[in-house]
A and B are shown apart, each in its own frame.
Chain A
Amino acid sequence: MTIEFSDFSFRYESLDKPTLKHINLRIEQGEKIVIIGPSGSGKSTLGQCLNGLIPEAIKGEISGSLTINGRASSQMKLHHFTEQVGTVLQDTDSQFVGLSIAEDIAFALENQLVEQQEMRALVQSTAQMVDLDDLLHHSPHDLSGGQKQRVSLAGVMVDDVDVLLFDEPLASLDPKTGKAAIEIIDTLHQQSGKTTIIIEHRLEDVLHRPVDRIILMDNGEIVADLAPNALLHSPLLEKHGIREPLFLSALKAAQCDITPQDSLANFAQFDLTQHKQTIQNWYHQRPVATAPSQAATLLDVKGLTYSYDGEKNALEEVSFKVNQGEFVSILGKNGSGKSTITKLIMGVLEPDAGHIAINGQDLSELSIFERSAKVGVVMQNPNHMISHHMIFDEVAFGLRNRNMDEALVESKVTRALELCGLSKYRHWPIEALSYGQKKRVTIASILVLEPELLILDEPTSGQDYRNYTSMLAFIHELNRELGITVVIISHDMHLVLEYTTRAVVIADSKLIANAPVTEVFSQPELLAKANLAPTSLYELAKKADIEQTDDFMHYFIRCEQERAA
């Protein structure tokens, strides 16, 4: 069973220009390939052509041909596609339509009129494959992100399809769960021999297990179709806005002489012997680190405890401080209580015990709105924050609620839009913006309130490397130039390592670490407790026999920042 695109183009009905341009791609039976590319590169559209949503459910104009198993797609009905290609969607919540695991796995069978008894047997055996057979009657609300994804996978596997298509499987998973997901996909691929296609932009995480080929897309075209090692050695990734593996960036920074024959895609098998000396030399030329000067305390959290249901604590006795002008991250797995801290600081929840103070003032004396003058929170999903039609009104909203003079509002909003690089869109409707631009609008609408502390909840979710780097570079600038204190809540290891200096780690509602990021990242056991995973940078330092792994990471980050500046 082969898939072949030849001179294939597609244009969405609502767009003027084609999203896919002259695609030529052949995928053989049993291959495992990765399709990468920045947002808007057309990689998800390509996936939708494969699973039949295009042209059946999403209308548009197709030229060229796509054949699946020797059959032209133009001759195929939607069910011909779904019988052969099983899709695991990015948003596992939307894919989980049943009210229990068993029901959801059975969904496709129900629709195919399979007899109930046969259905039960199939559900049981499929659940076993992904290790869910003990949880069959659990409802979606009781499951973690990783478990939900396994349910989606089982719901597709139950159909005995030939091709498994994963659309950004890592998007909402923490690093440890993400690794587990990649392992499950790999095991299934090896056991079943099904053709496996993974669409992702987080390349290093996908390469946790080997793949046959990587297809790089940008601007609706295939830019490269190469074996992993060859692609990693080429300069194409950087050129098209894909983050290369951290260890590779470090090898390049140390000016190691790498060849396409090196095992770049699989760091565990990478032979470091000939590069060891180069790396050590590079490391030893680092300047002596200066101790950061102590600034005054801005945020003081003491003994914070909160429970949603009165039985289980979502936060327990959490205490930490954030100093003026710091850039701090709060890390932890999904549901560990990270977001609860934000809600308690915002004042939409009241702590069961403990205090929060800003500049020495106890926040419980202030209303939610009064607090918003001191603490600005940018939520994960911009669509939850935006309530106006025009960009200017959206940003002006908070100021107008303060009954500020309209002329002053005008000047402040203009300045905030300028800061966020949105000036030229000021009279645009919000619907015309991309997800990343909407995120900028929400940041502008918070910055305009001039908070002393800026909290960003999962700033990278839904954004590719190119987008989030430019957004974080901008936040970083605000932090340095304007002295705004920034706290980010995330489980994106790259982001945290690159931008923040200190990390507060929460696991199972308790604070388990409060230390410089590089120090936290040098403790694999600590990371594991918070469902995080050590980075390849740490592994590289270990392999090169460098004891002070945190100094090594610290030096690398500094070099990267200097290079970017």
Chain B
Amino acid sequence: MSRVVSKSAKMKFGINYVNTNSALHQLNGITKFLLFIAWVTVVLTTFDLRIIVSMIIVGMALLKISRVPFAVYRPLLIATASVLSLNALFMFLLAPSQGSELIGSETVLVPLWGNYSLTQETLYYLITVTLKYFSMFPMALVFVFTTHPTEFAASLNRLGLPYKIAYAVSLTLRYLPEVKKDFVNIMHAQQARGVDLSRNAPFFTRMKNVASILGPLIFSSLDRADEISNAMTLRGFGRHKTRNWYSLKPLTNVDKSFISLILLIVVAAIAKRYFESQLFWYPF
């Protein structure tokens, strides 16, 4: 019996550069990299729900501006949301009264056994922490979707990272699909000779069987690495102490004003953290 697989089930999703030529794509890789770093810094300094929520809104807006279709990152969005919810649940199970302790009051919402009663403070704390983590998600996606890997490598090199290491970033992205192809081929060959990689096999057998794929994969990847390195040597890689980059973009005025704005915000966020007396913003 053949099965008709629904078309949406095969929709590809991936976390890689998607060229839609949006305004964000025009920005320099350095600007976007700094934006990402600044974003993370600000998120780490704050427990203020107002700031966190507005960052999520801005982040989602940027994602919208990037013009990457929602379908591309929907699976990721769902996965991230579920992991974070699970995380919140475990935090509650391990320390059910942490919110009340931090905020210093206790308003029971749902009375449960022992000290597991859900308080308004704990609920508020868990929501804040979960959203805090989540707020990094849209920005990370914006960075990956809109920054061309080689341009990123070029930017890293510009920021002082040695070019051989920076180029390795770009090479990894270039050959990852090839390694994946090898992996699938090897897996198929092993399956056909009776290596069970499905859920039917006991966990340890399955782990052992996956390991039997890694051997050939590592060897074929090493062979490939050897050839690539020869090819690069033949074309003069490593000959000089520096190298130029075809895809390096100069910083435009837009980039410069963006970077200044980002720096201002970071300074403001750190200042706020330094001067504020109450870590949590709790309006109730």
Contact = CB atoms under 8 A, between A and B. Distances in A.
6 contacts: A111-B236, A113-B240, A310-B11, A352-B5, A387-B216, A397-B193
A533 interface: no
A110 B246 contact: yes
A272 interface: no
Given A79-B239, A87-B234, 9 more contacts: A53-B233, A56-B233, A98-B150, A114-B244, A346-B188, A351-B2, A355-B2, A379-B188, A383-B216
Nearest to B11: A310
Contacts of A310: 5, 7-11
Contact of B192 (A110, A309, A372): A372
Interface in B114-162: 148-150
A106 B246 contact: yes
Contact of B246 (A123, A354, A386): A123
Contacts of B189: 377, 379, 384-385
A116 B244 contact: yes
B195 to A, nearest CB: 7
Contact of A112 (B8, B19, B223, B236): B236
Interface residues of B, number: 63
A99 B173 contact: yes
B193 A97 contact: no
Interface stretch (B48-56, B100-108, B178-186): B178-186
B194 interface: yes
Interface of B: 1-5, 7-12, 19, 148-150, 170-171, 173-174, 177-178, 182, 185-196, 212-213, 215-216, 219-220, 223-224, 227-240, 242-248
Contacts of B232: 97, 107
B193 A364 contact: no
Contacts of A372: 192-194
Contacts of B237: 107, 111
Interface of A: 51-53, 56-57, 78-79, 82, 87, 89, 91, 93-100, 102-103, 106-116, 119-120, 123, 137, 140-141, 155-156, 159, 307-311, 343, 346, 348, 350-355, 362, 364-365, 368-369, 371-372, 377, 379, 381, 383-387, 397-398, 401-402, 445, 449
Q: Which of B186, B191, B212, B246 has the most CB of A within 10 A?
A: B246
Given A103-B247, A111-B240, A353-B2, A98 B193 contact: no
Given A89-B227, A348-B188, A387-B213, A110 B244 contact: yes
Contacts of A368: 191-192
B173 to A, nearest CB: 7
A308 B10 contact: yes
A99 B230 contact: no
Nearest to B196: A369
Contacts of B229: 57
Contacts of B5: 310, 350, 352
Contact of B230 (A57, A351, A364): A57
A99 B148 contact: yes
A110 B2 contact: no
Contacts of A352: 2, 4-5
Q: Which 9 pairs show the lowest CB-CB distances between chains A and B? A: A401-B194, A310-B10, A106-B246, A111-B236, A310-B7, A94-B227, A398-B193, A348-B188, A108-B235
Contacts of B192: 346, 348, 368-369, 371-372, 377
Contacts of B10: 307-310
A111 B233 CA distance: 10
Contacts of A98: 150, 174, 246
B234 A51 contact: yes
A353 B2 CA distance: 6
Contacts of B174: 96-99, 140
Nearest to A111: B236
Nearest to B9: A310
A271 to B, nearest CB: 43
A372 B244 CA distance: 52
Contact of B223 (A51, A79, A103, A383): A383
Contacts of A155: 235
Contact of A120 (B187, B213, B228, B246): B246
A89 B216 contact: no
Q: Which of A93, A98, A384, A385 has the most CB of B within 10 A?
A: A384
Contact of B244 (A79, A113, A348, A369): A113
Nearest to B238: A111
Contact of B190 (A89, A91, A102, A387): A387
B248 A116 contact: yes
A42 to B, nearest CB: 18
B201 to A, nearest CB: 11
Contacts of B223: 383
A307 B10 CA distance: 9
